[in-house]
Structure 1
Amino acid sequence: MNSNPRRKFDQEFKRNAVLLCAEPGRSVVEVAENLGIGKDLLYRWRREYHSANGQYVFPGNGVEALTPDQKQIRELKKKLRDTEMERDILKKAMAIFSRTSK
């Protein structure tokens, strides 16, 4: 069993580490050693950073990296789903009440 607790790095630390690798004359291995992290971890951060073009990258544990437009679309879809559910409930209630009043 590993006695070292898992370390967590914030978004700014990861971004700065990736940007340090991009400086001329610096290698990933050198930066990783200076920061006390594994080179494989830094390679992964670099790959994630470049795949997202540096924007909305490293959002955190279990949080999807979404643009503001994507967040708004997700919220609107949820509101639509809730509204449709309310409509269906009201339809069923109308059918029940119209049946019992005859």
Structure 2
Amino acid sequence: MKKRFYSKEFKSEAVRLSYQRENIKELADELGVKVDRIYRWRKLDSEDGVSKKASKPPSSQIDNQEVKELRKALKDAQLELEILKKAVHIFSKSDGKSINS
């Protein structure tokens, strides 16, 4: 069997993806490499002091940003609903009355 060699770019991309994905086995299957090889690349990468894991924002930071966005969307939706309720109230008052009279 022929020994396979992987480029530095391939290895670094595999390491980066391994930190983004939860299931490394699936990633290894997609890339056509063994799982232990990805773990070995990760170890070598962290020993070099160029760990990609540090560049990934913590999940709590992502969650906080998402909460802020959802709160803003909720506030906008509540404001829109309030405006529509007022409009319905105004138009329901003028029911039965002619605009020209």
TM value normalised by structure 2: 0.46
The structure that is helix-richer by fraction is 2
Indicate the structure whose relative CO is greater, using CA pairs within 8 Å and at least 6 residues apart: 2
The TM-score normalised by the length of structure 1 is 0.46
